[in-house]
Structures are given as C-alpha cells and as structure tokens.
DNA sequence: TTGCTTCCATACGCCAGAGTATGGAAAACC
DNA sequence: GGTTTTCCATACTCTGGCGTATGGAAGCAA
C-alpha cells in the first residue's frame, strides 16, 4: 500500500489508542467515542484496534483508568506542594485554566454521568476532590461537618462552572470580568 | 388488527408525542430520543410519528419549546407569588425536590449541552434564572455587579447540585443530612 | 352508501458503526 | 535466509435506527 502517511511511529501501542481516545472524548464527548471514526482520525483502520483491544468497552475502560490515575496524581501533587490551606483552595479554582485537556475530559465525563463505565470514575474522583477540600477547610478551623458541607458547596460551584463553560456562558478566561468573578467566589467561600 | 392495546385515546396528537419525548429525555437523556424506541414505548409504530412530524429534529425542536415555555411560566409564577426576596431565594433551592419532571429534563439537557438544538435553550433558561436571582440579590441591597456575581455563583451551586445528583452523590432528598446541607448553603449564600 | 380525510401499520431501502475472518507486510528471532 | 510473531488492511456480516411508500381501517360527509 501507500507509504504510510502516519506522521509518528511505524507501529502503534495500546497506550496510543487510549491517549487518542481521551482526546476524542475531550473534543466530542463520550458518546462520540466510536472505533471507526477514531481510526479515521488516526489515519489508520480498525484492523489495528481489534488487535490491541477486545472491543469498545475495553478501550473506554482503559482510557478512563489512565485518566483517573493521571488526575489522582495531579491532586496529590498539588496537595503536597502547597502547605497553606487557604492558598491550596485558591489554587483549586485557578487551576481550571491550566491542565486544559484533563479538565475538558472531566467536563465531558460529567456530561456522560449515567454511563455505567463512567459513573464509578466520576464518583471516586469527586469523592477524592471533596475530601481534599474538606481537609483544607478543617485546617482553616472549621468543624468537621461544617467543613464537609463547605467542601460539597465549593465543589458544586466548580461543577457549575464547568457546566456554564459547556454552555458558553462563562466570561472568557482571560477577561477582567473573569478575574473579578473568581475573586468574588474566593471571598465568599474561603474564610479569611 | 388486534383491538388496540393503547390504554388512553384512540388517536394521538403531536402534543402527545412531545410530552412522551420529554418523559423519555427525563429518563434516558437527549441522545436516547429516537423515533422507533419512543414509538415502541408508546405501544405504536413510527407510521404515526411521520404523519405528525417531519423528522427527529422537528420533534426535539417542539418538545424543547414546550418545555422552555413551561419552565418560563414556572419562574414568573414563583417570582410573582413571593414578595420577600430572601424567601424567594430560599424557595429557589427548596423547589428542586418538587417539579420533578421539569428538573429531570433540565438535568438531562445540561448533559446534552453542545447539542445544536439544546444549547440555545440552555442559554436562555440560565440567563433568565440568573437575572431572577440577580434581581433578588439587588433587592437585598447588593450593588449591581456584586449581585450579578452572586447570582452566577448561586446558580453554579444549583448546577453543581444537579450534576452530583446525576452521579448519585447527593444525600437523599428526604434525609436530615440533606436539610443540614441546604441550611448551610442558605447561610453561606444568602445575606441575613 | 359512497367518498374523502385522518391516522396508523407494514414493508421496504439506506447508512453507519460493531465485530469477524483472513491475508499480507515487516520486523524479530535463530 | 527462512520462520515466527507482530501489527494492520480489506472485505465481509450483522444490527439498529432513519426516512419513505403504500395500503388499510375508522370516522365524518354528502
């Protein structure tokens, strides 16, 4: 056949498929993850896919595992790096802009809650993150139950922000209005 | 053929299809809205559907119109009935339990943001509701910009709550924990 | 009764993606 | 240098939903 227009390597690995799958999810959502379109996007045919994976479920499974692990490492890293709990909370909001791919994937996963393979991932991730927040609020002097409520509230704000972002109803991340809003959120949710 | 096992009327209207479509969306999401499955669910064949509608798009269009109008009436009603802005805000949160179908539909629409027909509806609805909130916060003495930010923040909390509900990570609506959380949210977001 | 209109069933063709089967090229092994 | 293993292309079948065409039953009309 033709001299292989694939840009990168000569041969693909399962990890390549998983990464591309995550990019497709970030762009078009979980329901758009289909073998043949993904293969076309990669400039290859599904013959390759079915050598590396048993089927669509299997691909999604492993892609989600990969994403969750990456996200989990991210969380622990930011937890370890910042000592001051208040700064940790602030950075929680400010980090939305960076780590773009990860957040886009998460946003699309949220849109696909209810999917049997996605749901447990979402549960674990939200749980981990809320515990992270809850711990920070406790360090700031809140009673445990109050801290848990505040964590849930704070995380809801984050989720709502992602939703408004999907609807294109959030001020552009580089505008002054955005900064003013973030400041307002911080003032309202994080004790001085 | 057999003596019609349809329970209700002998002949269906377009409005019937629209209502059933909304119920299907509430149960299974927008992407699950397909003609043949819906027809099966109604104990009928698609022959009927294509008499009333030109296609799937048309059905979704009109079902969304119906829902949006209903939601809009709801909003104005609750706005007219309650004079005290603080009570109006409290009722905004407490109303999540009632109007079950409407909220379930909205939740699923949020999950389908990005869909070309759904997106504009979502935009308008969120805008209306946030203006509603913003006005209430202004009545409570906030400056206009601060009120807008607070409205966005409050609405984000609501959206986040819907998301956590989709993930089954919200305390059961009848439990004491739920009441405690709601109380916490009100304390945090609504000025005394 | 005849005829027209409304509403629906049935039977098609079409298309996209899933999964399978098989063969071939290229690299690795010995 | 031949063999084996790895990786992928091609060519199927199969399933499910879309949209169309056509006919038939029930109700009203004249």
Give B20-69 pLDDT, tens digit per residue.
Answer: 999 999 999 999 999 999 999 999 999 999 999 999 999 999 999 999 99
Q: Is A186 helix (H, G, I), strand (E, B) or coil?
A: helix
Contact state of A126 with B166 under an 8 Å Cβ cutoff: no
User: According to the model, what pLDDT value does residue B9 have?
Assistant: 63
The Cα–Cα gap between A38 and A20 comes to 8
Helix boundaries (H) for chain A:
14-28, 35-41, 46-52, 56-81, 85-94, 100-111, 118-139, 144-166, 176-189
The Cα–Cα gap between B152 and A177 comes to 12
* Token pair for A191: 């004790």
Task: Write phi, then psi, for B3 (nearest 5 degrees).
Answer: -70, 40
Residue with tokens 């969380």: A75
Residue A13 has pLDDT above 70, yes or no: yes
- Give the pLDDT mean for B80-109: 89
User: According to the model, what pLDDT value does residue B192 have?
Assistant: 81
User: According to the model, what pLDDT value does residue A9 have?
Assistant: 64
Q: Find the closest chain A residue to B149 by CA distance.
A: A181
- Quick check: B149 contacting A, CB < 8 Å? yes
Residue A174's pLDDT band, with cuts at 50, 70 and 90, is: confident
| A 109-128 → B contacts, CB under 8 A | 110-114, 119, 122-123, 126-127
Q: Which of A38-42, A144-148, B95-99 has the lowest mean pLDDT?
A: B95-99
pLDDT in tens, A111-126: 999 999 999 999 999 9
Residues from chain A contacting residue B119 (CB–CB below 8 Å): 167-168
Q: How far is B153 from chain A (nearest CA, A)?
A: 7
Residues from chain A contacting residue B188 (CB–CB below 8 Å): 150, 153, 188-189
> Please, are residues B96 and B161 in contact by the beta-carbon 8 Å criterion?
yes
- Average pLDDT value for chain A: 92
Q: Which of A43-57, A154-168, B64-78, B88-102 has the lowest mean pLDDT?
A: B88-102
Q: Find the closest chain B residue to A168 by CA distance.
A: B123
* Token pair for B54: 């030109």
Q: Does residue A52 lie within 7 Å of nucleic acid chain C, judged by its CB?
A: no
Residue B96's pLDDT band, with cuts at 50, 70 and 90, is: confident
Residue B177's pLDDT band, with cuts at 50, 70 and 90, is: very high
| A157 → closest Cβ in B153, B168, B169 | B153
* Token pair for B180: 């405690």
The Cα–Cα gap between B148 and A112 comes to 30
Contact state of B167 with A126 under an 8 Å Cβ cutoff: yes
The Cα–Cα gap between B186 and A41 comes to 48
Which has the closest alpha carbon to A29: A102, A105, A98, A118? A105
Contact state of A160 with B164 under an 8 Å Cβ cutoff: no
Residue A192's pLDDT band, with cuts at 50, 70 and 90, is: confident
pLDDT in tens, A40-69: 999 999 999 999 999 999 999 999 999 999
Report, in this order, helix, strand and coil percent for chain B, each rounded to 5. 70, 0, 30
Residue B8's pLDDT band, with cuts at 50, 70 and 90, is: low
Which has the closest alpha carbon to B157: A88, A128, A187, A161? A161
For residue B179, the 8-state DSSP code is H
Task: Write phi, then psi, for A84 (nearest 5 degrees).
Answer: -65, 120
- Quick check: B151 contacting A, CB < 8 Å? no
pLDDT in tens, A63-114: 999 999 999 999 988 888 899 999 999 888 888 777 889 999 999 999 999 9
User: According to the model, what pLDDT value does residue A2 have?
Assistant: 31
Please state, for a pLDDT cut of 70, what percent of chain A lies above it. 95
- Give the pLDDT mean for B111-131: 97
> Please, are residues B157 and B167 in contact by the beta-carbon 8 Å criterion?
no
- Give the pLDDT mean for A146-166: 97
User: According to the model, what pLDDT value does residue A10 have?
Assistant: 76
How many CB atoms lie under 10 A from the CB of residue B166? 22
Q: Which of A182-186, B16-20, B149-153, B169-173 has the lowest mean pLDDT?
A: B169-173
> Please, are residues B111 and A111 in contact by the beta-carbon 8 Å criterion?
yes
Residue B137 has pLDDT above 70, yes or no: yes
């Amino acid at each position: 056949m033709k001299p292989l227009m694939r840009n990168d390597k000569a041969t693909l690995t399962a990890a390549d498929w998983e990464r591309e799958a995550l990019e497709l999810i970030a762009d078009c959502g979980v329901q758009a993850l289909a073998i043949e379109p993904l293969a076309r996007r990669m400039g290859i045919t599904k013959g390759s896919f079915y050598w590396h994976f048993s089927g669509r479920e299997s691909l999604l499974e492993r892609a989600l595992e990969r994403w969750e692990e990456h996200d989990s490492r991210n969380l622990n890293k930011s937890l370890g790096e910042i000592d001051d709990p208040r700064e940790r909370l602030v950075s929680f909001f400010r980090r939305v802009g960076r780590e773009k791919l990860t957040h886009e994937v998460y946003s699309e996963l949220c849109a696909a809650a209810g999917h049997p393979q996605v749901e447990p991932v979402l549960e674990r991730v939200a749980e981990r993150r809320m515990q992270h927040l809850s711990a920070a609020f406790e360090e700031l002097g809140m009673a445990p139950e109050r801290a848990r409520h505040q964590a849930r509230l704070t995380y809801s704000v984050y989720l709502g922000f992602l939703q408004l972002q999907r609807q294109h109803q959030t001020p552009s991340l580089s505008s002054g209005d955005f900064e003013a809003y973030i400041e307002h959120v911080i003032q309202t949710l994080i004790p001085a």
